[in-house]
Structure 1
Amino acid sequence: MAKTWAKAPSPCISVCKFRDEGRCIGCQMTKPEKKRFKRLKGKAERRPFFEMLRERLVARDRYAYWSRMYRRRCLKKAADCPLDKLEQPDGLDRAA
């Protein structure tokens, strides 16, 4: 699983309706966050972004739906899913 974080697809799941305080109802990202994600490089920048997003989705009770749809997106793009790495302690995540 080389470069899981660097090659991670955008957390966007193509719902794109901004109703929840300016956040998308599908992924809970704001428009500026969606743009910012494209500029994030590697594990050091992307992992904290996914952690923040996971907390936000859990707080809104949207994580189960989003994670299912995001895993499907990763499969379509033939990319390793970074959600698997979020469950591991930071020291065990060897892929960049």
Structure 2
Amino acid sequence: MPKPPSPCIGVCKFRRDAHCIGCSMTREQKALSKQAKKPEARRAFVTLVMAQQAVMGGYRHWDAAYAKACAKKGVEVPPRPDAA
């Protein structure tokens, strides 16, 4: 099974208390996401980012961009923790 893509959607502007306005990750989280090599670890990391977005609010634009990246890799989009 292929691993999910990185939660990064290529915006990379850190303005919201050092969180990216595109994906909500901090610089440190972006570095950690690159270390998640196994599909299970990547899915867990994506779920963490989704939960962080739910708490911070204002990241619904990310859903469409991330779904497109998942479709390109042939991977199912993980369900949002707030939708479970």
Give the TM-score normalised by structure 2. 0.77
Which residue identity lines up with residue 78 of structure 1 in the other structure? K
Q: Which residue of 2 aligns with 1:70?
A: 66
In the TM superposition, residue 56 of structure 1 has moved relative to its aligned partner by 1.2
**1:42-61 maps to which residues of 2 (within 5 A)?**
42-61=38-57
Alpha-carbon separation, structure 1, partners of 2:81 and 2:59: 13
In the TM superposition, residue 31 of structure 1 has moved relative to its aligned partner by 1.1
C-alpha RMSD over aligned residues: 2.5
Alpha-carbon separation, structure 1, partners of 2:56 and 2:81: 19
Q: 1:35 aligns with which of 26, 31, 35?
A: 31
Which residue identity lines up with residue 76 of structure 2 in the other structure? C
Alpha-carbon separation, structure 2, partners of 1:18 and 1:26: 9
> Quick check: 1:9–1:74 contact (8 Å CA) kept in 2?
yes
Cα–Cα, structure 1 residues 20 and 66, in superposed 2: closer, same or farther, change >3 Å? same
Matched, 1:81 2:76: yes
- Structure with higher Rg: it is 1
Q: How many residues align?
A: 83
> Quick check: 1:10–1:37 contact (8 Å CA) kept in 2?
yes
Structure 2 runs not aligned, ≥5 long:
none
Q: 2:21 aligns with which of 25, 40, 48?
A: 25
Query: Alignment partner of 1:49: what SS?
Result: helix
